[in-house]
């Protein structure tokens, strides 16, 4: 008995190595065997990743089984140990999955492909789970046969095949696999559907798995059509900083379209899925937000915040602490706390600068001005958002005179010094992007 992999048109970008996520169970054992006996795929540098969660007493034996199987197939195998957090707030099953995918993502270089052994029965379970969580078309599309993952791609070549066909293949080829006893438990939602709900449904509707897989395919088509319009609306709201949107175009959208655009935005930024409460916050704030405050919404270590006519999304970062202070001679880049750096291009001999956080009350004399301005007012006039101000380093001389605020505002004398020596000061903040619109100083 053979399994013919569905014809897949790989993008040209998928030119790298082929990895297999291998647990040692039935499904991944079949996938590994099929790929190892497909010369064209084996020639791509087939290799195996086994994630050792350490959650079961037999975990070491399972890893040894995977190593032995790969040795017989002459396929390199890496066993990678992870610690699964027990207090993630997402449930233990989701935490283990997250740890596993973090390992996979960390192994992929540009063009690499990770193959996983999800099949049609898994797809049916996923559709039911998503329906019970009140998902829309994107969620009901469930698992995709091919999608980006970190620097590479995730491929599910068995997604259209029923598990019964995989079992028949394993028996026909005398494969040996691991039976994880936790799969028989019903505490986890997916296991409850797999072991109780779907078997009951099959007694009445034998084609339930195929029907649910068709639901996923139809919803994927719907999602793809909607995404085209989402991307157009997202493009209309973008600024030069991908993590910042203009509120005007968002406010003009119908609420349903706005919700999709916000979720699409955070997806493109590779952030955790935006929860419904975040969308509700955005909608309420767009309709009733006040310009004299900076409302925020936090989720999964990330933050949405509105300022003036802008909406920003990004990881929650501690501000540049008031205690931070470093001496700098400008010769080598200065790495700042929480990421980012300050760099001077061009020679700087005999300088002794201090780099510190803003402390309040600083003043700076701008080029062409007869008197100094409060740095706070300069930054406000430049339209520097609070998420940039929170990380902004101040460059000062030995007399504590402010020379520069990042690379956004320069003292007149310091600016002349930069120009006279063909020098440039660059500030790279955490996240590697800052965008400040041009604005006059009042």
The binding site for ATP consists of 23-28
CA distance 309 to 253: 15
Binding residues: 23-28
- The 3 state secondary structure assigned to the chain is CCCCCCCCCCCCCCCCCEEEECCCCHHHHHHHHHHHCCHHHHCCCCEEEEEECCCCCCHHHHHHHHHHHHHHHCCCEEEEECCCCCCCCCCHHHHHHHHHHHHHHHHCCCCCEEECCCCHHHHHHHHHHHHHCCCCHHHHCCCCCEEEECCEEEECCCCCCCHHHHHHHHHHCCCCCCCCHHHHCCCCHHHHHHHHHHHHHHHHCCCHHHHHHHHHHHHHHHHHHHHHHHHHHHHHHECCCCCEEEHHHHHCCCHHHHHHHHHHHHHHCCCCCCCHHHHHHHHHHHHHCCCCCCCEEEECCEEEEEECCEEEEEECCCCCCCCCEEEECCCCCEECCCCCEEEEECCCCCCCEEEEECCCCCEECCCCCCCCEEHHHHHHHHCCCHHHHCCCEEEECCCCCEEEECCCEECHHHHHHHHHCCCEEEEECCCCCCCCCCCCCC
Biggest CA–CA distance in the chain, Å, is 88
């Amino acid at each position: 008995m053979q399994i013919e992999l569905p014809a897949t048109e790989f993008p040209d970008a998928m030119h790298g190595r082929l990895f297999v996520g291998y647990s040692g169970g039935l499904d991944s054992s079949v996938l590994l065997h099929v790929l190892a006996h497909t010369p064209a795929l084996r020639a791509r540098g087939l290799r195996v990743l086994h994630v050792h969660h350490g959650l079961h007493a037999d975990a070491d034996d399972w890893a040894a089984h995977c190593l032995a199987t790969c040795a017989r197939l002459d396929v390199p195998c890496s066993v990678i140990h992870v610690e699964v957090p027990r207090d993630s707030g997402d449930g233990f099953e989701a935490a283990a999955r997250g740890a596993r995918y973090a390992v996979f993502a960390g192994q992929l270089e540009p063009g690499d492909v990770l193959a996983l052994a999800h099949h049609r029965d898994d797809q049916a379970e996923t559709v039911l789970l998503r329906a019970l969580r009140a998902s829309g078309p994107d969620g009901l599309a469930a698992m995709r046969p091919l999608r980006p993952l970190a620097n590479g791609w995730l491929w599910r070549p068995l997604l259209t095949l029923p598990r019964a066909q995989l079992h028949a293949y394993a028996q026909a080829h005398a494969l040996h696999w691991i039976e994880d006893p936790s799969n028989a438990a019903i505490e986890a939602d997916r296991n409850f559907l797999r072991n109780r709900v779907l078997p009951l449904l099959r007694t009445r509707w034998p084609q339930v798995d195929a029907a649910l897989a068709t639901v996923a395919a139809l919803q994927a088509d719907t999602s793809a059509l909607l995404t085209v319009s989402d991307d157009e609306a997202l493009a209309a709201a973008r600024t030069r900083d991908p993590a910042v949107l203009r509120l005007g175009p968002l406010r003009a959208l119908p609420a349903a379209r706005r919700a999709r655009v916000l979720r699409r935005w955070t997806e493109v930024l590779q952030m955790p899925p935006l929860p419904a409460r975040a969308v509700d916050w955005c909608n309420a704030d767009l309709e009733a937000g006040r310009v004299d405050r900076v409302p925020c919404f936090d989720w999964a270590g990330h933050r949405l915040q509105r300022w003036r006519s802008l909406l920003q999304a990004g990881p929650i970062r501690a501000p540049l602490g008031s205690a931070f202070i470093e001496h700098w001679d400008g010769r080598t880049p200065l790495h700042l706390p929480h990421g980012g750096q300050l760099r001077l291009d061009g020679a700087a001999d005999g300088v002794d600068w201090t780099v510190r956080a803003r402390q309040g009350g600083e003043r700076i004399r701008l080029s062409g001005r007869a008197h100094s301005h409060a740095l706070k007012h300069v930054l406000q006039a430049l339209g520097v958002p609070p998420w940039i101000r929170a990380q902004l380093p101040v460059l000062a001389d030995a007399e504590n005179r402010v020379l520069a605020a990042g690379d956004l505002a320069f003292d007149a004398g310091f600016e002349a010094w930069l120009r006279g020596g063909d020098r440039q000061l660059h500030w790279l903040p955490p996240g590697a992007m800052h965008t400040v619109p041009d604005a006059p100083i009042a």
